[in-house]
Amino acid sequence: MEAVKAIAHRLIVSCQAGPEEVLHGTTFMVGMARAAKEGGAGGLRVNGADDIAAVRQAVDLPIIGIEKQKHAQYGILITPNFEAAQRVARAGADIIALDGTLNRDGKDTDLHGLIERVHKELHLPVMADISCLDDAVFAQGAGADFLGTTLSGYTAHGRPMLSGPDLGFITEMVESTHLPVIAEGRFEQPNEVAQAFTDGAYAVVVGSAITRPQMITQRFADASQPRSGVQHYFDSVSSILDVVAACEQDAIQRAAAVITKSITSGGMLYLFGTGHSHMMAEEGHYRAGGLAAVCPILISGLMLHESAMASTRLERTPGVIAAALERYPLAQGDTLVVFSNSGVNAAPVEMAKIAKERGLTLIAVQSNAYSSQTVAGAMGKKLGDYADIIINNHLPPGDSLIKLNTEGLKTGAGSTVIGAFVLNALLTEVIERLAQTGEVPPIFISANIPGAQAHNERLYERYRTRNPHL
């Protein structure tokens, strides 16, 4: 069972190519396997005795072996009988994957007997490829050692086909069965793999996204074709999110450390923004799964619901913040996050100045590109001049992302999406750090969950004097 331990929480690369594919043949499969090992894979999934034997001689990673067989009605069956399992085992596989679905002729109808023979005669563990929870229960009862989501979307009786991995199925399997779950099927992005592990997957198999160059090329080639407005916006936001996640990791971690210290010391996290940025303050307030130690600073005139034009004038007027802070007991040891795309208007700068005077740690979320190209407003300084930590949202000056072919206009605002990502990523990191201390983090529960009312009322009593909006 060493192979079973070796693949725990590891990436498994599926090295397969059918006769119709350019890279079909043992030479190519061995190359794929070697490349996968060099890239950090913890195991391989290989089809057919010839390829398994060749890869076994070249690479020392655990191999999940299969034998695909064509079926007139069902297309492809996975190692459907003992003879196929025997060929796979003799070729050098460490784990046998086989079809664990219900109601499919052409495979061994006695799954329990097939698995028992693999265990007793071949002395190898079995991975059952399944397509739904009923399959999982069936395969678990038949004695499988692993359950694989491989066939989700590929059988008439199973779950529907999704464009990406069926992450919901993984969660359902982990919660409803007692066997290790190997996630497989339509994984294309590293974040999808990471999410599968977060959801409880024992291991994750990725195939085409790594080992089928023709499919990879097609994805990139498709990007050169005309795009819709939806695709333009998705492309732009996704690109910026990737940049923020990569480049602002250090700033977010430092900010999380500061906020964690504030909360563990009995302090609060305050959130502030004007105009559309005020939504970030509300985003962190009284949310299911959110911190109760978060208080938004909400000043009606600086929002948009009373008068959008007036709010623009007001956020550029000094003195507004000082006159409105009586409701908020900002104190030394607390932390304040200010969201301001340009970082130059009077209201966020004045808020920053007051926060520093009161001894708070200040975190600014802004566009460095926008702030650097814009002169200071009525306060004479910029938000970044007061900030202890700056998280750059990497948005362009003016916020809008999509260029139009008319008079240089742009559309597709990004600051709300990126701001919400930064805030929730930051709060998630804080909550995980709080959990690591051994204490239960002060998190609200959705009102419709059993026991939520009593839980949330305790938090209300704890924080109501610090948060006037509770």
Q: Which residues pair with 71 in a beta bridge?
A: 75
> Are the C-beta atoms of 282 and 296 separated by less than 8 Å?
yes
Q: Do 144 and 180 sit in the same domain of this protein?
A: yes
**What's residue 90's pLDDT?**
98
What lies within 8 Å, CB to CB, of 370 at 6+ separation is 341, 342, 343, 395, 396, 397, 398, 399
Tens-place pLDDT, residues 167-222: 999 999 999 999 999 999 999 999 999 999 999 999 999 999 999 999 999 989 99
Inside any domain, residue 64 = yes
Q: CA 342 to CA 402: how far, in whole Å?
A: 18
Question: How many domains are contained in the chain?
Answer: 2
Q: Do 427 and 396 sit in the same domain of this protein?
A: yes
Inside any domain, residue 223 = no
Residue 97, number of CB atoms within 10 A of its CB = 28
Inside any domain, residue 157 = yes
Q: Do 164 and 252 sit in the same domain of this protein?
A: no
Q: Do 17 and 166 sit in the same domain of this protein?
A: yes
Inside any domain, residue 220 = no
Inside any domain, residue 37 = yes
What lies within 8 Å, CB to CB, of 296 at 6+ separation is 270, 271, 272, 281, 282, 284, 285, 469
Domain boundary (154, 185, 215) is at: 215
**What's residue 1's pLDDT?**
66
> Are the C-beta atoms of 8 and 202 separated by less than 8 Å?
yes
CA distances (Å), origin 191, targets 21, 242, 427: 28, 11, 19
**What's residue 360's pLDDT?**
97
Inside any domain, residue 222 = no
pLDDT under 50: residue ranges of the chain: none
Angle between helices 49-58 and 82-91 (to 10 degrees): 20
Inside any domain, residue 225 = no
Q: CA 303 to CA 300: how far, in whole Å?
A: 5
Query: In this structure, what token pair is assigned to residue 392?
Result: 């750059």
Q: Do 149 and 255 sit in the same domain of this protein?
A: no
Inside any domain, residue 412 = yes
Q: Do 314 and 360 sit in the same domain of this protein?
A: yes
**What's residue 319's pLDDT?**
84
Looking up residue 235, the CATH number of its domain turns out to be 3.40.50.10490
Q: Which domain holds residue 92?
A: 2-215
Q: Do 200 and 266 sit in the same domain of this protein?
A: no
Give φ, ψ of 411 to 5 degrees: -140, 180
Q: Do 24 and 162 sit in the same domain of this protein?
A: yes
User: What radius of gyration, in Å, describes the C-alpha atoms of the chain?
Assistant: 28
The b-or-e profile of 272-288 (16+ CB within 10 A means b, else e) is bbbbbbbbbbebbbbbe
Q: Do 86 and 132 sit in the same domain of this protein?
A: yes
**What's residue 103's pLDDT?**
72
Q: Do 314 and 443 sit in the same domain of this protein?
A: yes
CA distances (Å), origin 307, targets 239, 275, 283, 296, 340: 34, 10, 21, 20, 19
Domain boundary (215, 247, 264) is at: 215
Q: Do 138 and 30 sit in the same domain of this protein?
A: yes
Domain boundary (191, 215, 239) is at: 215
**What's residue 70's pLDDT?**
86
Looking up residue 28, the CATH number of its domain turns out to be 3.20.20.70
Q: Do 442 and 301 sit in the same domain of this protein?
A: yes
